[in-house]
Amino acid sequence: LFLDHGEPCTGSDESYCMNGAKCFKIPSMSTLTCLCNDNYVGSRCEQLQLESTSYNSQETGMMVAIIIILILIVLLLAGIIYLICK
pLDDT in tens, 43-77: 999 999 887 666 677 788 889 999 999 999 999 99
Length of the chain: 86
Write down the pTM of the prediction.
0.52
3-state secondary structure of 30: coil
Whether 1 has a pLDDT exceeding 70, the answer reads no
pLDDT in tens, 2-45: 456 688 999 999 999 999 999 998 888 788 999 999 899 999 99
DSSP E strand stretches across the chain: 7-8, 22-26, 31-35, 40-41, 47-48
Count CB neighbours of 59 within 10 A.
10
Q: What is the pLDDT of residue 3?
A: 55
